[in-house]
Amino acid sequence: MPRAKLSPRKTPTQERSRATVDALVQATADILVRDGYAKLTTNRIAERAGVNVASLYQFFPGKEALVAEVLRRHVKEQRAAAGEVLSTRRFDTLEELIRTMVALGFAAHAVNPKLHHALTEEMPSRPARKWGPEDAPMLEALGRFKTDVPDPELALWLIDTVAHAVIHRAVVERPESLSQGLLQEELVTLLLRYLKRR
């Protein structure tokens, strides 16, 4: 069975087209939350968005690409929030930096846990996370502190991967822990011990 295309067909340039794409993405998220991936169809997405299905196919090859766009926007929002904090705040200690980044991750996933559950558990294939210029502020912030890791870029990837894995599993298996402090504290301890192992 061929792998589904996860990229949009084209990027909207006009305001009306952007509004259509936004409505399609929001409709996809709404159906995922309410009914799950199994009941997500292009016809239902188009109907919920208030457009005809031909308009959907003008921008997306199928429902998989729309779910991938929901995920891409979620990651982009998280990166933007982290970037804003990193650019406007001065961290005096490595612990303060890690604690703040973990808190941001928990806060982002507590907003709509049902959507995170659907994206984590129900999407049949996830696009690989791509690193880009927007990750530079975190690498720069980490570089201001002395750590015991041999490769800061690899360390940042590990921190990001471990933190997301823990938070995503919590969304699925321990949703109540997202609003309690213990899991957050344990994750901060885990990451700090990795960075300061000596």
Question: Are 184 and 101 spatial neighbours (Cβ–Cβ below 8 Å)?
Answer: no
> How many residues make up the chain in this entry?
198
How many whole angstroms separate alpha carbon 130 and alpha carbon 118? Answer: 21
Which pLDDT tens digit goes with each residue over 84-110? 888 888 899 999 999 999 998 888 877
pTM: 0.74
Which pLDDT tens digit goes with each residue over 34-51? 988 889 999 999 999 999
